Amino acid sequence: MHFSSFWRTLPCAALAALCVLTTSPSAVRAQDAAASAALRSSPAAAPSPVASRASQPARQWFKAPRVYGRLTVREVGLVINLDDPYSVQVGEYYAKARKIPEDQILRVRLPVRGELTVAEFDAFRQQVDAFFGEQTQALALAWRLPYAVGCNSLPGALALGYDAKLCSQTCAATRPSLYFGSDTTRPYTDYRVRLSMLLASRDVKGAKALIDRGVKADNTLGLKGGPTAHVHFVTTSDAIRSQRQLLFPPAGKLPQAGVEVFLDKTDALRHAERVLVYLTGRTHVDWLDTVDFLPGALGDHLTSFGGVLDRPHGQMTVLSWIDAGVTASYGTTSEPCAHLQKFPNPQALVLFYAQGATAIEAYWKSVAWPQQGLFVGEPLAAPFSRDEP
């Protein structure tokens, strides 16, 4: 089965906006409880984390298209905000680390705050489109802030255009990404989708370490006779945020990729070794500091506000993953509700990454509706690649 059509085979309850994912207000908690009850009572609902083995759906790998090649430094632009000292330091460091030529570096002046206004975004996007031509397929944005345009994520708006209607109902279905599950290595040329990823960390030191991990990751995995990398797909006690378990493949080794998949039932991994992918669902993930993440590791937690970086909301953000040692992560910047299409598909993420894709390609190809999605990390990390970046 191909990724472009497999959503139709899932239980309808898995695809409906049955619930919100946030936790604070009492009204939201009531919706959560009602949605959870609906999930448990529906014959097509997601299985409970404590369900018996006999009640679990049969797991299978879906078919991903064969992809030849990947994005290289010649197709990735860098954007630096001159009004942000963090951006200037991190951007210049990244340019040297990845040998990005000067004619692929755009220097702009943007407000250093969480959200851009629509007018500010329109002006910024015009600068991007005027500076970067057809060759530039993706962007590294060298900052933490801004990360959003209203309810849209900044990467989502840059790739698909700003969606004003979404802000009246953020739980609605969003524009689909033609790039999801595709075999192209030229998303802008083929689909007019220019990918982007924030080089975001809590401080400049952390961002430099993130960049170093990405560079170090290249050409390190899937080698004949090399040690196995571990993929952990986790079902927690939070049934609503664990709905991605519907998409988990069978546990076991993928010898051709040098990867082993583990299906864990726990609220948090402890002391896991050689972790390449860690996907889970909770508002907070404990014990990340005990996990041995490989260079190039990917990790995220399905929750509402993992991509909100500038204000308290009672949930862990993508920055905790970056602090813990992953090389790329993902979160949403406004309430997405429990649409699986708004979060990384676990199988797509692994199957594209293991074919040699970069971190930015693997993450973007795994999200069907990325309008609210914040992609954070070192874009060019490619541990399964066999060529020069």
Distance, in Å, from the CA atom of 377 to the CA atom of 220, rounded to the nearest integer, reads 18
pLDDT in tens, 15-69: 333 345 443 333 333 333 333 333 333 322 332 332 333 345 689 999 899 999 9
Written as six digits, the tokens of 214 are 């990405």
Please tell me the predicted confidence (pLDDT) of residue 255.
84
Q: Is 372 exposed, middle or buried (0-12, 13-18, 19+ CB in 10 A)?
A: buried
pLDDT by 10-residue block (mean), the chain, 389 residues: 51 40 38 35 30 58 93 98 98 98 98 98 98 96 98 98 96 96 97 98 98 98 93 97 96 93 98 98 97 98 96 95 98 95 98 97 98 98 86
Please tell me the predicted confidence (pLDDT) of residue 50.
29
Strands (E), 317-372: 328-332
Q: Is 188 exposed, middle or buried (0-12, 13-18, 19+ CB in 10 A)?
A: buried
Reported as type and span, the H/E element at residue 12 is helix 12-15
Task: Tally the residues of the chain.
Answer: 389
Cβ proximity of 359 and 193 under 8 Å = no
| Torsion angles phi and psi, residue 7, rounded to 5 | -60, -30
Please tell me the predicted confidence (pLDDT) of residue 56.
54
pLDDT in tens, 196-225: 999 999 999 999 999 999 999 999 999 988
Cβ proximity of 334 and 371 under 8 Å = no
Please tell me the predicted confidence (pLDDT) of residue 12.
36
Helices (H), 99-225: 118-131, 154-160, 187-191, 204-217
CA 240 distance to own-chain centroid: 19
Reported as type and span, the H/E element at residue 96 is helix 85-98
Side chain identity at 182, as an amino acid letter? S
Distances (CA, A) of 291 to 22, 260, 271, 284, 299: 26, 16, 5, 15, 11
Please tell me the predicted confidence (pLDDT) of residue 386.
82
Distance, in Å, from the CA atom of 312 to the CA atom of 285, rounded to the nearest integer, reads 16
Could you give the dihedral angle defined by the CA atoms of residues 285, 261, 236 and 295, in that order, rounded to the nearest 10 degrees? 10
332 pairs with which residues across the strands?
373
Q: Which residues contact 129 (CB under 8 A, 6 or more apart)?
A: none
Side chain identity at 209, as an amino acid letter? A
Q: Domain segments of the chain: what residues?
A: 76-377
Please tell me the predicted confidence (pLDDT) of residue 2.
53
